[in-house]
A and B are shown apart, each in its own frame.
Chain A
Amino acid sequence: MLRNRNETEDNAGPPQSIALLCGVERRRLVGGHASRVELRLAHLYPDTMNLYADRGNVIALTKRCRWHGIELKTESISIGNDIDTSQFDLVFLGGGQDKEQRLVGNDLLSKQQSLAEMADDNVVMLVVCGGYQLFGNFYRPAHGPELKGLAILDIETIAGNRRLIGNVVLKTDIMAGQELLVGFENHSGKTYLGAGVRPLGRTDVGFGNNGEDGLEGAVYKNVFGTYLHGSLLPKNPQFTDHLITLALKRRYGHVDLNVLDDSFEEAAHKAAVAKARSKKKIK
C-alpha cells in the first residue's frame, strides 16, 4: 500500500513525548516497561455486517487510540471463528441486510455464552443497528417464527411496517462533556426496552428505538446498543473517548486521556446537528 507524504499521523495528535507524560503511559513506565499501552478490539463479522459505513467506527477508535498513545489491535471475527473471551477489551458489531443478519444470527448464537460472559465482565461493546437488534432478546418478523437474540441487552424488536429513516440527535447523560449524540438511522424494526437496560438517550430529532417512546439505544454495563450510524464515532469524539476510557479503566485502572485538537470533529458534529434540526423545523 502506498503511503504518501500527506499521510503522516503526527499532525493530528500530540507528539509522543507529550503522550508519554499522560496517565496511561506513565503508569506502564513505572512498572519498568517502555511498551506501549495496548487495547484489543474484536470486530465481529466485518465482511458481512458492514452495511452503513460501520468501518468508520473502527477507523475512529483506531485513530483516536493512536492519538492518545494507545495501540488498538483489531481482530476480525467471522462466521465459524471462536472468540477468546480473555483476549478482548472492546467488541464492535455493525449492521447488515436482513439476509446477512439471519446468516450471522445463527453463528452469533453459538458465541452467546462467550459474549454474555464478556459483557458481565465489563468488556466495552458497541453494537449498531442490525447488531443492536441481534444483542436483544428476540426479533419478531412480520411473518414466520421469532428469531432468538443473544439476550445480552434486555430489549425486544418487532418488525414495523415502514422504515424509520433520517438524521437523529439524542440528548444523553451517559458521559461528561458531551450531551448530544448525532447520527443517521435507517431501520424498520421497532425496539422496546426492558427493565434490565437504560436508554442511551432521548431523541431530540428522529425516531429512535421505535418512533413512539422518545428513547434511543440501550445500555447495559459497558454494552452500548444504538440505531445511529453515519458513522457514529468520528463525529461524536467524546463518546469515542468515553468508550476508550471505559476499556482502559477496566484493564489498567484509572486513566486520563490526552486533550486532542477536535476542531474538525466538533465542526462535523455541529454541522450534522444543524442539518438535523433544520429538517425538524420544516416538518
Chain B
Amino acid sequence: MDLRLSLAIGTARLGGRLSRRLHRGGGTSLPGLLALRLDPKILSKLTNKLSDSVVITGTNGKTTTANMLAAIFRTHGSEFIHNTAGANLVSGLLTAMIGGIGYGSQSQKIGLFEVDEATIPKVTPQLQPKIVAVTNIFRDQLDRYGELDHTAELIKSALTSLDDNARVVLNSDDPRVAVLADGLNLRPIFFGIEDERRAAFHLDQARDSNECLLCGTALEYKFQYFAHLGIYTCPKCGFTRPEPQFKAVDIELALGGTHFKVITPVGSLKLKTKLSGLYNVYNTLAAVAVAIQLGMAPTTIKAALEEFKPAFGRLEEVKIGAKMVRLMLMKNPTGFNQVISALNLDDTPKNLIIAINDNLADGIDVSWLWDVDIERLGEFNFAIASGVRGEEMALRLKYAGFKTGRIMVKNNLEKAIESGLSRIAPGEEISLLATYTAMLEARKHLQKIGDIGAFWEGA
C-alpha cells in the first residue's frame, strides 16, 4: 500500500467532483494536476497498474483516431481507460488514469492515450507504451513548439526511448512522419492511401514540408492528396514513401460519410463510415493498424467503425428545435482547409459562424489564418466572425475577396450563435467553425439551448 499514492488519488478524485459540481468544466485536467503535486512519481506508479498502453500522437486526428480505437475496444469487450476531449497533456493523462484505476494492485485495463506532441517525450519513458501511432505532422501552434523540425524531433526522441518490443505505426504518405523510421531499431508499421482519383488538383498553400528530410533536396511528388501528404520520392538520396502494410483504396467521399476498402496483412475490410473527408480515412487507417496489431478481429473493427460517430466538434450535429448547428473544429491551416473541402462537398450557400480565439490552447499567434486558402470557401449567406480575434477573421474574409456586407463581427460567441440562429429558417443549418477554446465555449452554450451531451461524458 502506497500511502502517498492513495492520498494523491483520493484528493484528485475529490477535486474532480468539486470542479464538476461547481460547473468549472469537465474536470479533465484538474485532478491530474492535483495528483502530480502530491505524488510526482504518480505516472509510472499508475502505469504499472495497466496491462498495456497505446499512444496516439501527431498534429491532426489524435482525438478521432483514439476515439475510434475506444469504440473498437468497447465492441471487443476490452476494458480500457482513455483520456477524452483533447485533454492530452500530462495532467489529462493522469486524470484519466486516476478515474479509471482503483487503489488495488493490478488492473487488466489497456491505457489508450492521445498525447500532445510536446508532451510525448516527457511521458513515453514512464508509460512504455506497446504501440505508438503518429498520424501526421503539420504546421500547428508554432509559437508553442518553436518550429516544425522541433516537433518532429520531440516525437523522434520519444520513439527512441521505447523498449525493444514496442511497435510504431506511421503514416507513410507524410514524409515528415515516415522519416521517423530512419535509424529506429523498431520495425515500423506503415499506413497510407493508394487512390489516385483522390489526388488534389488544387495544391493548397499550407504545404509545410516539401523537401527531403534526409538530404534537403526538393521531394518529387507523383501526386498529393492534400497539403504535403502524397506519393513522393527524393531524386537525390532515394528516400521514398515506404510501402504501407495498411492501405485504403477505392475511396468514395460524401458529406455524410465515406466508403472505402482497407487492405491489411490479415485480409481486406470494406468500410462504410459516417465520417467525411480524406483526413478521416487516414485516422481510420491508423486505428485499424493499431487494432489489428493488438489482435482484434477484422469483423469487430468493421462493426465498431461503421457505427462510429464524429467526436467533439468534428462535424458533430446539434439540433436546436427545427434548426441545426454543425460543429467543425479547426486549429491550423490544414485543418481549416479540410473543413473548407468538407463544406464544398455540396454547393448550397452556407450560413457561417467562424470563431477564432488566441488562448494558449488555440495557439496565441493568429498568423495561421493567412495561410488558409479562405479563397476556396464557397458561397455564403452570411459569415459571423466571432471570438477574441473575430476582427482578424473578418479581415481575412475581406482580403479573400468576399463581400464585406455579408461579413459581421460579434466577438461574444453566445451572441454570434443567437444572431446566426435568428437569420436562418427552420430546416436550415449553420456551420460553426471554431478553434479549440471557442469550440468549448460554443458547446457550453449549445448545451443550454439544444440537444447535445456534456463533452466529458465521452464521445
Residues of A that sit less than 8 Å from B by CB: 1-2, 4-9, 11-12, 47, 50-53, 55-56, 59-60, 63, 97-99, 103, 163, 165-167, 184, 186, 188, 229-231, 234-235, 261, 264-265, 267-268, 270-272, 275
> In the complex the two chains form, is B402's CB within 8 Å of A7's CB?
yes
* Chain A residues positioned under 8 Å from B369 (CB to CB): 53
> In the complex the two chains form, is B149's CB within 8 Å of A98's CB?
yes
| Segment 394-440 of B: residues with Cβ below 8 Å from A | 394-396, 398-407, 409
* Chain A residues positioned under 8 Å from B216 (CB to CB): 99, 103
**Residue-by-residue, is B118-155 near A (CB-CB < 8 Å gives 1, otherwise 0)?**
00000000000000000000000011001111000000
> In the complex the two chains form, is A271's CB within 8 Å of B391's CB?
yes
> In the complex the two chains form, is A97's CB within 8 Å of B147's CB?
yes
> In the complex the two chains form, is B364's CB within 8 Å of A231's CB?
no
> In the complex the two chains form, is B392's CB within 8 Å of A268's CB?
yes
* Chain A residues positioned under 8 Å from B406 (CB to CB): 6
> In the complex the two chains form, is B366's CB within 8 Å of A5's CB?
no
Closest Cβ of chain A: how far from B214's Cβ, in Å? 12
> In the complex the two chains form, is A53's CB within 8 Å of B404's CB?
no
Task: Contacts A1-B375, A11-B404, A12-B401 known; list 8 others, CB within 8 Å.
Answer: A6-B401, A7-B400, A8-B401, A53-B367, A234-B370, A261-B404, A264-B391, A275-B358
> Once bound together, how far apart are the Cα atoms of A247 and B395, in whole Å?
24
> Once bound together, how far apart are the Cα atoms of A144 and B193, in whole Å?
42
Q: Tell whether B371 is near chain A: CB-to-CB under 8 Å.
A: yes
Q: Tell whether B378 is near chain A: CB-to-CB under 8 Å.
A: yes
> In the complex the two chains form, is B399's CB within 8 Å of A234's CB?
yes
* Chain A residues positioned under 8 Å from B379 (CB to CB): 4-6
**A58 and chain B: residue at smallest CB distance:** B370
Residue from A9, A52, A163, A229 with most neighbouring chain B CB atoms (10 Å): A52
**A5 and chain B: residue at smallest CB distance:** B379
Residue from B370, B391, B404 with most neighbouring chain A CB atoms (10 Å): B370
Closest Cβ of chain B: how far from A52's Cβ, in Å? 5
* Chain A residues positioned under 8 Å from B365 (CB to CB): 52, 165, 184, 186, 230
> Once bound together, how far apart are the Cα atoms of A184 and B376, in whole Å?
26
Residue from A1, A56, A99, A271 with most neighbouring chain B CB atoms (10 Å): A271
| Segment 167-211 of B: residues with Cβ below 8 Å from A | 202, 205, 210
> In the complex the two chains form, is B142's CB within 8 Å of A265's CB?
no
> In the complex the two chains form, is A235's CB within 8 Å of B395's CB?
yes
* Chain A residues positioned under 8 Å from B391 (CB to CB): 264, 267-268, 270-272
Closest Cβ of chain B: how far from A139's Cβ, in Å? 16
> Once bound together, how far apart are the Cα atoms of A12 and B397, in whole Å?
11
> Once bound together, how far apart are the Cα atoms of A7 and B403, in whole Å?
7
In the A-B complex, the 4 residue pairs with the smallest Cβ-Cβ separation, listed nearest first, are: A56-B370, A53-B370, A53-B367, A271-B391
> Once bound together, how far apart are the Cα atoms of A261 and B398, in whole Å?
12
Closest Cβ of chain A: how far from B376's Cβ, in Å? 8
> Once bound together, how far apart are the Cα atoms of A62 and B99, in whole Å?
55
Closest Cβ of chain B: how far from A106's Cβ, in Å? 11
Closest Cβ of chain A: how far from B389's Cβ, in Å? 6
* Chain A residues positioned under 8 Å from B404 (CB to CB): 11-12, 261, 264
State whether A52 and B395 are in contact (beta carbons under 8 Å apart), knowing that A186-B365, A231-B367 are contacts in the complex.
no
**A54 and chain B: residue at smallest CB distance:** B370
Q: Tell whether B223 is near chain A: CB-to-CB under 8 Å.
A: no
**A4 and chain B: residue at smallest CB distance:** B379
14 A-B pairs within 8 Å (CB atoms) are namely A1-B202, A2-B376, A6-B406, A11-B403, A12-B404, A50-B205, A50-B371, A103-B216, A165-B365, A184-B143, A184-B367, A229-B367, A264-B391, A271-B389
**B393 and chain A: residue at smallest CB distance:** A268
> In the complex the two chains form, is A51's CB within 8 Å of B142's CB?
yes
* Chain B residues positioned under 8 Å from A59 (CB to CB): 370, 399
> In the complex the two chains form, is A52's CB within 8 Å of B367's CB?
yes
